[in-house]
């Protein structure tokens, strides 16, 4: 479904300036932005991603991954086609690296009301905008999130963070949580591997924290690219400066899409990265894409608070009520209810 977009300006010669993400595309008539799903039709910017779901599932919230946001619950997870990055290692490239063909995107049609209804029917506590980049189906996600809030559901983005400050400000009243990929701490790697830049991602992490959105961060460790002590130290120092309570998910790389020649990262590399994160002062560090996903422990006394096995969790009911350690009464940061 084609719908007029938000956050854009007119330019001379019927050119449009998209202000949704950090690319800031200047789009000629009858052309599309880098995302491939936002196009200029006679001097007006339209989104073609509105109301077209290319993937929908009921997922454990831990799968996103969120470890400090409604643990033990499920999220109704949706995506529309497209992305503003071109990551050569993308696991979801078959649905993210899709562009408009014949004026339509692939997927099933669903109104915002229908999405919320499905979430409620499946007893989900939240809606997660994930799998592809929610920024590029922003209008759709925004409209769903408004209705979700009205029905007592929470909303989360799983995002590359390459959005504009205006986009964050627009969605922040309805967005409860975001897991942001901080892929590298090297602008050259962002440009070469993802067709992006580092600073806008850092700015998004800062701004979402300032807006009161619960933030968790994921870094996929890629052999020979971002696994050096120097780069891991820069990532963790930055996160520690923004907030030591930010959960950092260290995800294990496996070959996919265009990076099939690289091997799988050893678990010991992830554990080493975790130690770097803890030395930087991060309270909560977790390993991803491994057999043992890790428990949430009290950063003050070390007591196990949330025990995880696969996607199953065991959580003391009292902890969900007050978010405090039963032993030392320390407050554990997160969104528990």
253 and 220 Cβ atoms separated by less than 8 Å: yes
pLDDT confidence bin for 153, thresholds 50/70/90: very high
Strand order in the sheet with 44-47: 3-4, 44-47, 38-41
Beta bridge partners of 180: 159, 217
The reported pLDDT for the residue numbered 209 is 98
Distance CA 248, CA 240 (A): 10
The reported pLDDT for the residue numbered 78 is 98
The reported pLDDT for the residue numbered 288 is 85
Q: Which of 55-69, 82-96, 278-292: highest mean pLDDT? A: 55-69
Domain 52-294: top CATH class: alpha beta
* pLDDT tens digit sequence for 274-289: 999 999 999 999 998 7
Distance CA 75, CA 115 (A): 12
Output the pTM of the full model.
Answer: 0.95
Task: Give yes or no for a cis peptide into 65 (omega within 30° of 0).
Answer: yes
Integer distance in angstroms from the first to the last C-alpha of the chain? 35
What is the average per-residue pLDDT within 183-196?
96
Residues of the chain with CATH 3.20.20.70: 52-294
278 and 244 Cβ atoms separated by less than 8 Å: no
In order of 71, 97, 272, 294, 328, the CA distances from 300 in angstroms are 20, 44, 22, 17, 8
* pLDDT tens digit sequence for 309-319: 888 899 988 89
**pLDDT of 102 above 70:** no
Strand duo 126-129 + 52-53: pairing: unpaired
What is the average per-residue pLDDT within 154-176?
98
The reported pLDDT for the residue numbered 292 is 72
**pLDDT of 1 above 80:** no
Strand duo 154-159 + 74-79: pairing: unpaired
Q: Give 264-282 as a 3 state SS string.
A: CCCHHHHHHHHHHHHHCCC
Distance CA 321, CA 328 (A): 16
Q: Is 146 left (phi over 0), alpha (psi -120 to 50) or beta?
A: alpha
Q: What is the DSSP letter of 21?
A: B
Extract the runs of DSSP E, i.e. beta strands, from 231-320: 248-252, 285-288, 296-297, 304-309, 312-314
What is the average per-residue pLDDT within 54-68?
96
């Amino acid at each position: 479904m084609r719908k007029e977009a938000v956050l854009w300006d007119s330019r001379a010669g019927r050119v449009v300036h998209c202000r949704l993400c950090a690319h800031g595309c200047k789009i000629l008539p009858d052309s599309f932005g880098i995302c491939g799903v936002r196009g200029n039709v006679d001097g007006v910017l339209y989104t073609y991603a509105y109301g077209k779901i290319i993937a929908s599932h009921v997922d454990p919230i831990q799968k996103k991954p969120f470890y400090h946001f409604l643990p033990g619950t499920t999220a109704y997870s949706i995506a529309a086609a497209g992305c503003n990055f071109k990551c050569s290692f993308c696991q979801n490239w078959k649905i993210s690296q899709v562009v408009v063909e014949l004026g339509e995107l692939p997927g099933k049609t669903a109104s915002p009301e229908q999405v919320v209804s499905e979430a409620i029917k499946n007893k989900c506590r939240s809606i997660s905008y994930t799998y592809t980049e929610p920024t590029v189906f922003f209008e759709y996600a925004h409209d769903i999130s408004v209705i979700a809030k009205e029905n007592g559901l929470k909303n989360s983005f799983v995002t590359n963070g390459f959005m504009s400050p205006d986009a964050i400000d627009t969605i922040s009243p309805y967005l409860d949580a975001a897991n942001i990929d901080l892929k590298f701490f090297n602008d050259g790697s962002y440009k070469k591997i993802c067709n992006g830049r580092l600073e806008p991602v850092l700015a998004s992490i800062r701004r979402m924290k300032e807006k009161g959105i619960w933030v968790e961060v994921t870094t996929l460790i890629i052999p020979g690219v971002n696994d050096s002590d120097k780069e891991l130290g820069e990532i963790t120092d930055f996160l520690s400066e923004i907030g030591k309570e930010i959960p950092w998910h260290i995800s294990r790389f496996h070959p996919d899409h265009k990076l099939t020649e690289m091997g799988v990262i050893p678990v010991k590399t992830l554990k080493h990265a975790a130690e770097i994160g803890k030395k930087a002062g991060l309270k909560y560090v977790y390993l991803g894409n491994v057999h043992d996903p890790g428990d949430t422990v009290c950063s003050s006394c070390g007591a196990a608070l949330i025990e995880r096995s696969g996607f199953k969790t065991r959580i003391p009911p009292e902890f969900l009520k007050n978010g405090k350690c039963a032993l030392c009464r320390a407050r554990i940061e997160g969104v528990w209810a």
